[in-house]
């Protein structure tokens, strides 16, 4: 059995890559605040370590956003037998990785749960690109509900203002697998990269900021020919879901996942200057609810997405050295898959041992091979301990 060890080894290679009621309506930011919001949003990648520790659990205090409210019925995560790993070893791992939340589920039971630096079960932590896997699940929900006919539909059918740009002839499937062929720079250390600049420009009135930026990008290869990791394309997927459903992402998340699956705490989703959720990142969730997201995927999302959706979403639709990419999920040898975000966020799912492992963290760098390898070593111990 392969599992977590192989999974996080490949992830190391790929690392460079609220109860009841209705969510508040999406409200655009006042014009005088839009420029300030763009500046702060671009600065997130370059916060100091102190700022990361302070702000990652408090994004709603810095940014506007919408809320997906939890329902009255919470999906239980019963206590399981504690994993036979020495407490000192767990504490050392968390300290070395700046981990503030660590959760391990097996068969839906809690086998390990730890918090640090004032974070706790009542709090939320930002997800960065873990949110991508949630956004892709909303595409599956929209297909089940009939809002989207097929992932082979052209993107321009749902976002016609992309017509005449690099996204002509690109399908929803190619957005999900990041194979559009459109040129993009995801360098988190470069202030001039696309990922850092996409919300830094003033946007004409009435124009969606993501569409405004993405439609200017040139094509570098044929659609479907090349995998290039692009946060901007997940933001486009969010635009697509909003336009297809006529609902905000938080409202649809609440309706299709947060209440039906029994999430425990409200989720907060940051919005851009027009009030639309930034779907490629920026979803803040409690540690246990991140675990429930992994459990939902492990169980196949019955009633939420079409039958077989997660089987397709979590298998390699495209490959890179050491693994592959599905519908916004990293796919690893041995059947393990993961939602992964910069600065140490991960939901890792190993179907062979029915394990879900979550870390919320504040790594000193967005991507770090050494930290990823150390996380690999700890995850291998978790898997071995779970077999005992």
What's the whole-number average pLDDT of the chain?
89
**Residue 361: CB partners within 8 Å, gap ≥ 6?**
97, 98, 99, 100, 101, 343, 344, 345
Model confidence pTM above 0.75: yes
The Cα 148–Cα 221 span in angstroms is 26
pLDDT in tens, 208-233: 999 999 999 999 999 999 999 999 99
Backbone φ and ψ for 338, nearest 5 degrees, come out as -150, 145
275: Cα separation from own chain's centroid: 19
Burial code (b: 16+ CB inside 10 Å, e: under 16) for 100-123 equals bbbbbbbebebbbbbbbbebeeeb
The Cα 132–Cα 128 span in angstroms is 8
pLDDT attached to residue 11: 41
Helix (H) or strand (E) holding 319: strand 318-320
pLDDT attached to residue 7: 37
**Residue 138: CB partners within 8 Å, gap ≥ 6?**
241, 249, 252, 253, 256, 257
pLDDT attached to residue 10: 36
Q: Which residues of the chain have pLDDT under 50?
A: 1-40
The Cα 45–Cα 42 span in angstroms is 7
pLDDT attached to residue 105: 98
pLDDT attached to residue 191: 81
242: Cα separation from own chain's centroid: 17
Contact 67, 258 (CB under 8 A): no
DSSP three-state, residue 336: coil
The Cα 145–Cα 360 span in angstroms is 32
pLDDT attached to residue 380: 87
pLDDT attached to residue 42: 57
List the Cα angle 122/123/124 in 5-degree steps: 135
First to last CA, the chain: 14
The Cα 341–Cα 127 span in angstroms is 6
The Cα 39–Cα 348 span in angstroms is 32
pLDDT in tens, 44-88: 888 999 999 999 999 999 999 999 999 999 999 999 999 999 999
For 373, other C-beta atoms within 10 Å of its C-beta total: 15
């Amino acid at each position: 059995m392969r599992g977590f060890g192989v999974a996080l080894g490949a992830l190391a290679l790929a690392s460079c890559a609220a109860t009841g009621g209705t969510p508040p309506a999406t409200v655009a930011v006042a014009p005088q605040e839009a420029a300030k919001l763009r500046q702060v949003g671009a600065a997130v990648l370059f916060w100091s370590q102190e700022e990361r520790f302070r702000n990652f659990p408090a994004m709603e205090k810095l940014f506007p956003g919408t809320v997906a409210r939890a329902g009255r019925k919470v999906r239980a995560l019963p206590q399981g037998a504690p994993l036979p790993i020495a407490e000192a070893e767990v504490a050392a791992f968390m300290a070395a990785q700046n981990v503030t939340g660590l959760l391990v589920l097996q068969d839906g039971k809690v086998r390990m749960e730890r918090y640090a630096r004032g974070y706790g079960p009542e709090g939320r932590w930002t997800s960065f690109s873990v949110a991508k896997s949630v956004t892709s699940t909303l595409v599956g929900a929209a297909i089940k509900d009939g809002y989207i006919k097929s992932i082979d539909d052209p993107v321009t059918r749902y976002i016609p203002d992309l017509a005449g740009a690099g996204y002509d002839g690109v399908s929803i499937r190619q957005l999900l697998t990041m194979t559009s062929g459109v040129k993009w720079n995801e360098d988190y250390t470069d202030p001039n990269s696309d990922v850092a600049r996409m919300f830094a420009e003033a946007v004409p009135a009435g124009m969606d900021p993501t569409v405004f930026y993405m439609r200017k990008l040139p094509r570098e290869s044929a659609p479907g020919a090349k995998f290039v990791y692009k946060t901007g394309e997940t933001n486009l997927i969010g635009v697509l879901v909003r336009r297809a459903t006529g609902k905000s992402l938080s409202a649809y998340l609440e309706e299709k996942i947060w209440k039906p699956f029994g999430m425990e705490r409200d989720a907060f989703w940051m919005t851009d200057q027009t009030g639309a959720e930034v779907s490629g990142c920026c979803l803040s969730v409690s540690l246990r609810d991140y675990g429930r997201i992994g459990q939902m995927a492990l169980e196949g999302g019955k009633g939420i997405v079409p039958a077989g959706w997660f089987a397709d979403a979590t298998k390699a639709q495209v490959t890179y050295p050491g693994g592959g990419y599905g519908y916004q999920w990293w796919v690893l040898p041995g059947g393990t898959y993961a939602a992964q975000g910069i600065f140490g966020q991960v939901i890792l799912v190993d179907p062979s041992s029915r394990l879900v492992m979550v870390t919320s963290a504040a790594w000193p760098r967005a991507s770090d091979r050494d930290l990823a390898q150390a996380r690999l070593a700890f995850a291998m111990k978790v898997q071995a301990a779970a077999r005992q």
